[in-house]
């Protein structure tokens, strides 16, 4: 039936197979070590780029968070600036209004001072005229008192004739005796 193979031959074949397997595993391990020593520089570059990519992704995520917070801060600052601008413009309007009011007040004050100085001048003139009138009145009163007492009578004065009275009337001089009566 089948061919009989001696047992030695089988054991030798099995030993050879086992020895080949052990030698091939040793050879592959040694080759792996040599490959590890002689790695391709492109593989190292790929690994470093992958690591940089992961770092860049984490940085990008943190920067996105920072950008979101900065945007919200910017919006708050913009609102604050707008409010300050509104306050400043309101204050400038009030300041302009106050300047106009001040100018109007200054002009009115100047007008009132001018009017007051005019009135003071008129008052001084009126007082001077009043004093003149009072002086004339006191002179007239004193003359009339003198005429009434008879101390002053131009008609009886020496050197006054009726002709002289007519000449004085013609010259435009008033007759004191006539004015006093």
Q: How many domains does the chain have?
A: 1
pLDDT at 157 over 60: no
What domain range includes position 152? 52-174
pTM above 0.75, yes or no: no
- Per the domain annotation, does 127 fall within a domain? yes
User: 147: closest CA among 177, 103, 171, 115?
Assistant: 177
pLDDT of the residue at 107 = 95
- The first and second tokens of residue 143, run together, are 């003359």
pLDDT digits (tens, 9 = 90+) for 14-71: 999 999 999 999 999 988 887 767 777 788 889 999 999 999 999 999 999 999 999 9
Give a yes or no: residue 36 inside a domain: no
Dump the DSSP string for the chain: -PPP--HHHHHHHHHHHHHHHHHHHHHHHHHHHHHHHT--HHHHHHHHHHHHHHHHHHHHHHHHHHHHHHHHHHHHHHHHHHHHHHHHHHHHHHHHHHHHHHHHHHHHHHHHHHHHHHHHHHHHHHHHHHHHHHHHHHHHHHHHHHHHHTS--GGGSTT--HHHHHHHHHTT---HHHHH-
The residue among 161 and 130 whose pLDDT is bigger is 130
Residue 128 is predicted with a pLDDT of 95
Instruction: Specify if 147 maps to a domain.
Output: yes
Domain annotation covers residue 179: no
Residue 31 phi/psi, 5-degree rounding, is -65, -40
Chain segment 83-114, per-residue pLDDT in tens: 999 999 999 999 999 999 999 999 999 999 99
- pLDDT, residue 5, reads 77
Give pLDDT, residue 155: 61
**CA 109 from centroid of its chain's CA atoms:** 29
């Amino acid at each position: 039936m089948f061919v009989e193979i001696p047992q030695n031959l089988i054991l030798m074949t099995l030993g050879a197979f086992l020895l080949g397997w052990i030698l091939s595993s040793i050879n592959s391990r040694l080759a792996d070590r040599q490959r590890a020593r002689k790695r391709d520089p492109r593989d190292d570059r790929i690994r470093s780029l992958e690591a940089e990519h992961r770092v860049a992704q984490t940085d990008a995520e943190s920067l996105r968070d920072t950008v979101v917070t900065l945007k919200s801060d910017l919006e708050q600052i913009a609102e604050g600036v707008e409010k300050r601008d509104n306050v400043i413009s309101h204050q400038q309007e009030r300041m302009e209004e106050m300047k106009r009011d001040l100018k109007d007040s200054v002009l009115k004050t100047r007008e009132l001072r001018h009017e007051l100085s005019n009135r003071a001048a008129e008052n001084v003139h009126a007082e001077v005229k009043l004093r003149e009138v009072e002086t004339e009145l006191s002179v007239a009163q004193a003359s009339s008192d003198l005429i009434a007492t008879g101390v002053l009578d131009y008609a009886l004065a020496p050197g006054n004739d009726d002709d002289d009275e007519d000449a004085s009337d013609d010259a435009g001089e008033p007759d004191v005796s006539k004015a006093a009566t």
